[in-house]
């Protein structure tokens, strides 16, 4: 019966089709005639079949089911992809040194020992750690013996490993800056650590207030170039952070995310040089080369090396061996230094052009922050940040307001834009500047 019903429903038995008599169908199926007669009777009652004396049992005529009128197309809010982006945090991806990287990869692959393609040491390839030790000492003033370096998959990976170790040491809180990246704070909170915020002023984070933060066993700082506010940490504040760590057994986590890019003077050396036994230095190739490489490094106090190595070994999350060997060759050959020098000039021109455009088109607006890194801060009149960000969106420009980077515990105290001038390719740079200036009050 179910098969007959389905055949009529799907149209395999067309309306008017005469069905076999109950006697012949029962014989074909090998069932009692009454079984077929009962099934026919039920399908007649349901309207699938008709039965008339002299004309047998047929498929009932039926009209096509009424199809509902097609619904009008749903109107969805249109989210246009911005024509230009001045979001901070990315380098100029079009400037990645493809030819130099390919040449380094060929040399590295040719020279790689067979064992390099195994899982290897959780600390990372010794070739890269050795080259990094020399480079960081020379370029950033970091004390970085190879056995104290851990290669990781970028800053966030390094922070995750450090947070895991701190939590295992029963640290309850890591002090952070009032303005920064929320996903960095999230890494710490997921490890069970609180993130009390230290206040900021024109001299940088007020590290002298660390002693007043209950339960703090570490502090996370962007000392060379505060993100996103843009100032360098004052020497007295640097010393205060290290003095606090020495006096309490605490740890300073130094995020040196763009320390190689200073334009008005020689880069300030890393905070780690003041006390390598109390500072965890975290660096990355994400700003100097490309974030897609997933390549970073940690330089650790001696007492933490074993704990971080164990944490990293358990997670088994490491950068590609070939990429490590390629980066080692790229640095050792001098190509990395040449690329950084070239990009330093490129980004300095970008920043100068940004300042000049804002000064000309919006003379009442200031561009602040030291001449460094890949972003600048545009101060806005009080209460205008949201309207300027919305005006920029109408101009096809993606840009962030300062409030996006404010710690949840900090009251709103300034209106500004955080402008990433490294992101646009050369072909879009002029258009991005024009869109920005049109949006300014």
CB atoms within 10 A of CB 4: 20
Distances (CA, A) of 202 to 186, 279, 349, 374: 26, 24, 25, 20
Contact call for residues 398 and 86 (beta carbons, < 8 A): yes
Q: Say whether pTM exceeds 0.75.
A: yes
pLDDT of residue 53: 72
pLDDT of residue 8: 67
Locate tokens 């640290």: which residue?
171
- The backbone torsions φ and ψ at residue 297, rounded to the nearest 5 degrees and listed phi first, read -150, 150
CB atoms within 10 A of CB 282: 27
User: How many whole angstroms separate alpha carbon 362 and alpha carbon 349?
Assistant: 20
**Interior/surface letters 374-392, b for 16+ CB within 10 angstroms, e for the rest:** bbbbbebeeeebeebbebb
Domains (range + CATH), the chain:
2-59 (1.10.10.10), 84-89+338-439 (3.90.1150.10), 96-333 (3.40.640.10)
pLDDT of residue 415: 96
Q: Show the tokens assigned to 373.
A: 């890194």
pLDDT of residue 131: 98
pLDDT of residue 118: 86
Burial class of residue 238 (count of CB atoms within 10 Å of its CB; 0-12, 13-18, 19+):
buried
pLDDT of residue 21: 79
**Running along the chain, 441 residues long, what does each successive block of 10 average in pLDDT?**
70 76 72 76 74 77 55 54 92 95 97 89 95 97 96 95 96 97 97 97 96 95 97 97 97 96 92 97 96 96 95 75 96 97 97 96 94 97 96 96 96 94 93 96 93
């Amino acid at each position: 019966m179910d098969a007959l019903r389905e055949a009529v429903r799907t149209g395999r038995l067309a309306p008017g089709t005469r069905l076999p008599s109950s006697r012949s169908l029962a014989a074909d199926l090998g069932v009692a005639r009454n079984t077929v007669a009962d099934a026919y009777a039920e399908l007649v009652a349901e309207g699938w079949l008709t039965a008339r004396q002299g004309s047998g049992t047929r498929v009932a005529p039926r009209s096509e089911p009424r199809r509902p009128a097609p619904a009008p197309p749903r109107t969805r809010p249109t989210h246009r992809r911005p024509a230009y982006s001045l979001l901070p945090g990315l380098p100029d991806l079009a400037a990645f040194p493809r030819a130099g990287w390919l040449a380094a990869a060929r040399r590295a692959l040719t020279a790689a020992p067979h064992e390099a393609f195994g899982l290897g040491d959780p600390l990372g390839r010794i070739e890269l750690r050795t080259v990094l030790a020399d480079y960081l000492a020379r370029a950033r003033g970091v004390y970085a013996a190879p056995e104290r370096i851990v290669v990781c998959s970028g800053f966030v990976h390094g922070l995750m490993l450090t947070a895991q170790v701190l939590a295992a040491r029963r640290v309850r809180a890591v002090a952070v800056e009032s303005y920064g990246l929320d996903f960095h704070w999230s890494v710490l909170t997921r490890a069970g650590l609180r993130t009390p915020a230290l206040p900021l002023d024109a001299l940088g984070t007020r590290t002298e207030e660390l002693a007043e933060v209950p339960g703090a066993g570490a502090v996370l700082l962007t000392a060379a170039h505060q993100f996103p506010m843009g100032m360098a940490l004052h020497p007295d504040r640097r010393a205060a952070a290290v003095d606090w760590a020495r006096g309490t057994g605490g740890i300073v986590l130094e995020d040196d995310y763009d320390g190689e890019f200073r334009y008005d003077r020689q880069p300030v050396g890393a905070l780690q040089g003041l006390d390598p036994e109390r500072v965890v230095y975290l660096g990355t190739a994400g700003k100097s080369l490309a974030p897609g490489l997933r390549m970073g490094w940690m330089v650790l106090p001696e007492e933490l090396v074993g704990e971080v190595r164990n944490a990293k070994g358990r997670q088994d999350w490491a950068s590609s061996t070939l990429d490590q060997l390629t980066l080692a060759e790229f640095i050792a050959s001098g190509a990395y230094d040449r690329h950084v020098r070239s990009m330093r000039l490129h980004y300095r021109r970008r920043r100068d052009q940004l300042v000049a455009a804002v000064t000309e088109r919006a003379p009442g607006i200031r561009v602040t922050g030291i001449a460094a890194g890949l972003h600048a801060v545009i101060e806005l009149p009080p209460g205008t940040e949201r309207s300027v960000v919305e005006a920029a969106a109408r101009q096809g420009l993606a840009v962030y307001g300062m409030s996006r980077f404010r710690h949840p515990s900090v009251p709103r105290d300034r209106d500004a834009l955080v402008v990433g001038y490294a992101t646009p390719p050369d072909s879009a740079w002029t258009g991005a500047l024009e869109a920005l200036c049109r949006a300014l009050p």
